[in-house]
Amino acid sequence: MIWTRRTWMTLAAAGGFVAVAVGAFAAHGVSDPKAQEWLRTGSTYGFMHTMATFACATFMNIGAKNARRAPAFFLSGVVVFSGSLYAMALGGPRWLGAVTPIGGLLFLIGWATLAWAARDVDRA
């Protein structure tokens, strides 16, 4: 698979779909408060970072070509962070909670990558 802007944006759109679906499931299909909290948190962070992936395309369009590296961190962070919370909410083992911060670290790396790329915006 070639990791093009089209690929990242397609994956981000799919991630946005999942985030909205999981958020709705948390609101209407789950009665356990802890599971609802995990699903909402995963959905919020997942949606936020799919939007950040779309922002990367804008950064690239205005001169920050290195912004193409950030989506890998944002979307893998969604898989690890949100995915571990979703799994625990659906009955997965609690040790998955130890994996969740790895996803948070991936988010932070993505934001740092995007900040670094922003140095090239409007460079004369």
**pLDDT 10s digits, 7-62:** 999 999 999 999 999 999 999 999 999 999 999 999 999 999 999 999 998 898 88
Alpha helix stretches (DSSP H) within the chain: 5-28, 33-61, 70-77, 83-89, 100-117
* Choice between 62 and 2, residue whose per-residue pLDDT is larger: 62
Number of DSSP helices (H) and strands (E) in the chain, helices first: 5, 0
Q: How many residues does the chain have?
A: 124
In the predicted model, is pLDDT for residue 3 greater than 90? no
Full-model pTM: 0.92
